[in-house]
């Protein structure tokens, strides 16, 4: 499936605010309500729109600490990488997990209540995973920008 200019505009709008009604969007895009509706349906079905979610204020819900952890593994075979990915993904504290090119193996973004909770997570969950060699953690002092919308 190929996107035309209207699809792109539509995706960009929904990326910023998914609460807009089909009617509002139809006015902005100069299309009919039915046309917009069909396009959205198609974009969801074809996987361009993966999901629509509410973004919460993390401080307010008690997530006070964000940290980035660089994880080095002891080995780099297919099985080791796969097992680590599988296990680390199960932790609710791990918001993001990336395999990296360069000097370390994985980068994790970890969200916890506070430093103490992070400490428990590191000692009892992350560090005890098999194949983990070392973990280097950097803590976030302040969040300047945090976007979910891509510019394309």
Interface residues with DNA (CB under 7 A) are 6, 21-24, 30-35, 37-39, 41
- For residues 57 to 76, the per-residue mask of contacts with a copy of itself, x marking binding by CB under 8 A and - elsewhere, is xx-xxxx--x-x--------
Map tokens 């302040």 to a residue. 142
Q: Which stretch binds a copy of itself (CB under 8 A): 22-30, 31-39, 51-59, 125-133?
A: 51-59
Q: How many Å apart are CA 118 and CA 8, to the nearest integer?
A: 40
Q: Considering the rule CB under 8 A, would residue 124 count as an interface residue with a copy of itself?
A: no
Buried b (16+ CB within 10 A) or exposed e, 102-119: eebbbebebbbeeeebbe
Q: How many Å apart are CA 96 and CA 75, to the nearest integer?
A: 22
Give the residues lining the site for a copy of itself (CB under 8 A): 3, 11, 14-19, 47-58, 60-63, 66, 68, 85, 88-89, 92-104, 106-107, 111, 113, 138-152
């Amino acid at each position: 499936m190929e996107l035309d200019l209207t699809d792109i505009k539509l995706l960009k709008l929904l990326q910023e605010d998914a609460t807009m009604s089909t009617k509002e969007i139809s006015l902005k895009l100069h299309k009919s309500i039915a046309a917009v509706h069909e396009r959205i349906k198609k974009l969801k079905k074809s996987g361009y729109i993966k999901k629509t979610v509410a973004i919460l204020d993390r401080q307010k819900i008690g997530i006070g600490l964000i940290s980035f952890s660089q994880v080095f593994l002891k080995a780099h075979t297919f099985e080791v990488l796969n097992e680590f990915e599988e296990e680390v993904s199960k932790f609710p504290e791990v918001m993001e997990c990336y395999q990296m090119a360069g000097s370390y193996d994985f980068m994790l973004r970890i969200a916890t209540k506070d430093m103490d909770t992070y400490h428990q997570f590191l000692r009892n969950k992350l560090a005890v995973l098999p194949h983990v060699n070392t973990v280097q953690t950097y803590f976030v002092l302040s969040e300047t920008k945090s976007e979910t919308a891509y510019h394309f």
